[in-house]
């Protein structure tokens, strides 16, 4: 019999707020055996992170408090442990990787000193020994040149390396239990694969238990031994991983899996979960999911479902007693169909040729230019009306810079940007201002791109007024109400502030602001990267519907290849400021040619736990755009490197009418 390291029994955590008592964690129970991974999944606001903070006894005070239950670590109740004892235990027997590494690392301390400090405190090492161990930990988590990185500050390293530093700190005390709260959110798939491999390796070597909190079901399918689905403060389904993915039982679990995008759902409307998670500041006398459930009936509104044990877990749902009432989910073809095949040969809406964006490096009192950051270094692509071109690649490769240069938000250093045959770089400021209504951008973080002091209605009107656009039916803001309805928001949203909305609703506000000026092209910069799968499905459905209705063109910047497979028509793979492969989604994702593209695709987690992937390892990190490698930029990391790759940059080779690549493997073919 496997020994349970952690046992959580009927855990309840409450918060005192102006709106009453919030039951953030409301009777949660689960066990984690030694050497096993327990995944906690669900939408934002369901209580996943608060469960983790409760286990660490880091619930924000004085508002928050654990009011009931037990947290047993090897049989010892942490709820009864004084804070002095918990300080010794945290970082030693229990460690946590927090969701946002930049806010978790001290910006005025070097990364080496932050790890060394932990080692000195928990392992009682002297300063010299702690430094040696810290460098070993940096090497263990895959930080290149760890001796040099030891003396660097958090702002000097990439997001992927910050996350690895957080993992090094969490592992420094050799914990029995590691709590990983969204450890790979917004990371490139290549870095994500490295981090997951590292966690699996260390778990096997040390017998460490892992509590994994994530909304990425692909990671759950790869990492978890057991899965618990959390909704509105309680666990509604808990199953063995294989049983869960083979046949989820709770309607909420089914909806989460059905909302995932992918190639099999191209041309279909993704399943969405209507409504939002109910507020937790009131007592429940019914099923908490009832108002969003397609299978709900009178009993669901009248009584709380009890927990029913299953052979491989358990479920909290009335359907367990009345399975004949279950509604089977089916995918319904959507009106917004992808047009398959190659792009048209007609003149493109947007065509960029040899685009370059170089930033000068200045030094000294006189700001002498001593070099160039070649963020974008010769990009060419085109976007037709009514079609979506996805731009993918690792962080730092120049995707966002390309998007901003196209919109003339940053100056280009060379090349040509033609929008409806007009070179945008040659327009005067006045002429460019008049054209801005034709191309707009949806930013990655909707909250930071909305003015918190402005009402939603004023935010949407701002662009219309600035561009002096005449609006029909302007009386009493009829057009504004129609626009809000179009993006799935109520008319009274115009009288509210951004902070009063969820993340998905804020992204809809951003889309409404863009649509208000009636653009022809929209640059979407990671618009769904931080959203739950259910909210992501809503946004993708909306974008497809708008494209079908108005013939909008999208340049879709993302690192989520499952979204590309579902949403895009063409895809451009970018590496260190240049496009290395370009073509239709079917060609590039179906039969990738460039070694970098193949490595990216191999690193994407599979939702099917029975389907094993062979990850193609690419060593090291993205080289600096200040001093790119001689020859092919990818050759220092390429598993198929040849001598010529170190000498020359490969020309573009046309594989077929739908695909081209820059790689010496195909030269002359």
Q: Does the structure show a pLDDT above 70 at 665?
A: yes
Q: Please, which pLDDT band fits residue 579 given cuts at 50, 70 and 90? A: very high
User: Which residue shows structure tokens 């561009």?
Assistant: 467
Domain spans of the chain, in order of start: 1-93+175-247, 103-174, 251-273+285-325
The two beta strands, 414-419 and 388-392, are: unpaired
Tell me, what's the pLDDT at 186? 60
Taking a C-beta distance cutoff of 8 angstroms, is the pair 360, 354 a contact? Answer: no
What are 609's two structure tokens?
């736990």
213, with CB counted inside 10 A (0-12, 13-18, 19+), is: buried
pLDDT in tens, 49-104: 999 999 999 999 889 999 999 999 999 999 999 999 999 899 889 999 887 766 78
Percent of the chain at pLDDT above 90? 61
| Mean pLDDT computed over 33-49 | 92
Tell me, what's the pLDDT at 438? 95
Tell me, what's the pLDDT at 2? 64
Tell me, what's the pLDDT at 44? 83
Residues 6+ apart with CB under 8 A from 221: 241, 245, 605, 606, 607, 608, 609
Taking a C-beta distance cutoff of 8 angstroms, is the pair 131, 138 a contact? Answer: no
CA distances from 74 to 32, 365, 633 (A): 11, 61, 51
The rounded Cα 37 to chain-centroid distance in angstroms is 21
Which of the residue ranges 11-15, 213-217, 363-367, 503-507 has the most confident prediction, judged by mean pLDDT?
11-15
DSSP, collapsed to helix, strand or coil, labels residue 236 as strand
DSSP, collapsed to helix, strand or coil, labels residue 510 as helix
DSSP, collapsed to helix, strand or coil, labels residue 503 as helix
Q: Does the structure show a pLDDT above 70 at 159?
A: no
Q: Please, which pLDDT band fits residue 338 given cuts at 50, 70 and 90? A: very low
Identify which has the larger pLDDT, 223 or 345.
223
Tell me, what's the pLDDT at 444? 77
Tell me, what's the pLDDT at 339? 43
pLDDT in tens, 23-38: 999 999 999 999 999 9
What are 241's two structure tokens?
């991983």
Q: Does the structure show a pLDDT above 90 at 274?
A: no
pLDDT in tens, 90-145: 988 999 988 776 678 899 999 999 999 989 988 889 999 999 999 999 988 878 78
Q: Please, which pLDDT band fits residue 348 given cuts at 50, 70 and 90? A: confident
Q: Does the structure show a pLDDT above 60 at 417?
A: yes
Q: Please, which pLDDT band fits residue 336 given cuts at 50, 70 and 90? A: very low
Q: Does the structure show a pLDDT above 70 at 582?
A: yes
Pseudo-torsion of CA 334, 340, 345, 346, nearest 10°?
0
For 36-45, 112-121, 537-546, 610-619, which range has the lowest pLDDT when averaged over its residues?
Answer: 610-619
| Mean pLDDT computed over 636-663 | 95
User: 3.40.50.10860, 3.40.50.300, 3.30.2020.30, 3.40.309.10: which CATH number matches 1-93+175-247?
Assistant: 3.40.50.300
Helices 533-550 & 503-515, crossing angle to 10 degrees? 10
| Mean pLDDT computed over 483-512 | 87
**Residue 415: its H or E element:** strand 414-419
Tell me, what's the pLDDT at 1? 54
| Mean pLDDT computed over 232-260 | 94
For 218-222, 292-296, 368-372, 474-478, which range has the lowest pLDDT when averaged over its residues?
Answer: 474-478
Q: Please, which pLDDT band fits residue 330 given cuts at 50, 70 and 90? A: very low
Helices 159-171 & 127-140, crossing angle to 10 degrees? 130
Taking a C-beta distance cutoff of 8 angstroms, is the pair 472, 478 a contact? Answer: no
Tell me, what's the pLDDT at 343? 46
| Mean pLDDT computed over 224-232 | 96
Tell me, what's the pLDDT at 334? 45
What are 164's two structure tokens?
């690895």
Taking a C-beta distance cutoff of 8 angstroms, is the pair 223, 37 a contact? Answer: yes
Please choose, from the candidates 46, 28, 24, 32, the residue with its C-alpha nearest in 3D space to the C-alpha of residue 3.
32
| Mean pLDDT computed over 45-52 | 92
Percent of the chain at pLDDT above 70? 94
Pseudo-torsion of CA 519, 521, 524, 528, nearest 10°?
70
**Residue 86: its H or E element:** helix 83-89
Q: Does the structure show a pLDDT above 90 at 486?
A: no
Q: Please, which pLDDT band fits residue 474 given cuts at 50, 70 and 90? A: low
The pLDDT mean for the chain works out to 89
pTM of the predicted protein model:
0.86
124, with CB counted inside 10 A (0-12, 13-18, 19+), is: exposed
| Mean pLDDT computed over 572-584 | 97
Q: Does the structure show a pLDDT above 80 at 333?
A: no
DSSP, collapsed to helix, strand or coil, labels residue 343 as coil
Taking a C-beta distance cutoff of 8 angstroms, is the pair 647, 630 a contact? Answer: yes
Q: Does the structure show a pLDDT above 90 at 642?
A: yes
């Amino acid at each position: 019999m496997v020994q349970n390291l952690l046992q959580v029994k009927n855990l309840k955590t409450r918060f005192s707020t102006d709106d009453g008592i919030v039951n953030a964690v409301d009777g949660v129970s689960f066990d984690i055996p030694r050497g096993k991974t327990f995944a906690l999944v669900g939408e934002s606001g369901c209580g996943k992170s608060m469960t983790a903070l409760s286990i660490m006894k880091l619930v924000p005070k004085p508002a928050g408090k654990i009011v009931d239950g037990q947290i047993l670590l090897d049989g010892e109740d942490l709820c009864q442990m004084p804070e002095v004892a918990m300080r010794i235990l945290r970082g030693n027997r229990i460690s946590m990787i927090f969701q946002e590494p930049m806010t978790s690392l001290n910006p005025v301390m070097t990364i080496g000193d932050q790890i060394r400090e932990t080692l000195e405190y928990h392992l009682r090492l002297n300063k010299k020994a702690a430094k040696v161990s810290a460098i070993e930990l940096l090497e263990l988590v895959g930080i290149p040149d760890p001796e040099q990185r030891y003396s660097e500050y958090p702002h000097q390293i990439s997001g992927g390396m910050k996350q690895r530093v957080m993992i090094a700190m969490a592992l420094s005390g050799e914990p029995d239990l590691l709590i990983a709260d969204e450890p790979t959110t917004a990371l490139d798939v290549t870095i994500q694969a490295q981090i997951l491999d590292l966690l699996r390796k260390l778990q096997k070597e040390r017998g460490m238990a892992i509590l994994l909190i994530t909304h990425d079901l692909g990671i759950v399918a790869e990492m978890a031994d057991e899965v618990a689905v959390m909704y509105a403060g309680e666990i509604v389904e808990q199953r063995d991983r294989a049983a869960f993915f083979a046949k989820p039982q709770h309607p909420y679990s089914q909806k989460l899996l059905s909302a995932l995008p992918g190639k099999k759902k191209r041309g279909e409307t993704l399943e969405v979960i209507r409504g939002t998670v109910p507020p937790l500041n009131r007592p429940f006398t019914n099923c908490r999911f009832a108002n969003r459930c397609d299978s709900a009936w009178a009993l669901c509104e009248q009584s709380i479902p009890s927990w029913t044990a299953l052979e491989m877990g358990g479920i909290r749902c009335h359907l367990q007693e009345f399975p004949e009432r279950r509604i089977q989910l089916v995918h319904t073809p959507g009106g917004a169909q992808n047009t398959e095949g190659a792009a048209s040969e007609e003149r493109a809406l947007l065509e960029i040729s040899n685009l370059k964006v170089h930033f000068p490096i200045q030094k000294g009192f006189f700001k002498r230019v001593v070099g160039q950051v070649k963020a974008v270094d010769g990009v060419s692509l085109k976007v037709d009306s009514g079609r979506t071109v996805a731009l993918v690649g690792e962080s730092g490769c120049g995707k966002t810079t390309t998007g901003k240069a196209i919109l003339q938000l940053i100056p280009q250093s060379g090349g040509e940007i033609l929008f409806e045959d007009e070179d945008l770089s040659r327009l005067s400021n006045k002429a460019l201002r008049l054209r801005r209504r034709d191309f707009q951008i949806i930013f990655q973080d909707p909250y930071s791109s909305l003015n918190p002091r402005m009402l939603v209605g004023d935010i949407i009107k701002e662009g219309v007024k600035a561009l002096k656009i005449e609006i029909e039916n302007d009386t009493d803001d009829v057009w504004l109400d129609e626009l809000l309805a179009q993006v799935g928001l109520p008319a009274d949203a115009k009288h509210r502030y951004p902070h009063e909305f969820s993340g998905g609703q804020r992204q809809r506000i951003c889309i409404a602001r863009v649509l208000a000026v009636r653009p022809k092209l929209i640059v979407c910069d990671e618009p769904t990267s931080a959203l739950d799968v259910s909210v992501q499905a809503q946004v993708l459905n909306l974008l497809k519907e708008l494209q079908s209705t108005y013939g909008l063109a999208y340049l879709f910047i993302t690192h989520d290849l499952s979204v590309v497979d579902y949403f895009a028509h063409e895809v451009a793979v970018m590496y260190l400021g240049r496009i290395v492969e370009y073509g239709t989604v079917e060609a590039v994702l179906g039969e990738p040619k460039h070694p970098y593209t193949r490595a990216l695709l191999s690193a994407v987690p599979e939702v099917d736990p029975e389907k094993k992937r062979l990850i193609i390892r690419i060593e090291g990190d993205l080289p600096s755009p200040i001093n790119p490698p001689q020859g092919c930029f990818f050759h220092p990391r390429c598993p198929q490197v040849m001598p010529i790759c170190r000498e020359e940059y490969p020309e573009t080779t046309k594989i077929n009418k739908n695909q081209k690549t820059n790689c010496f493997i195909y030269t002359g073919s």
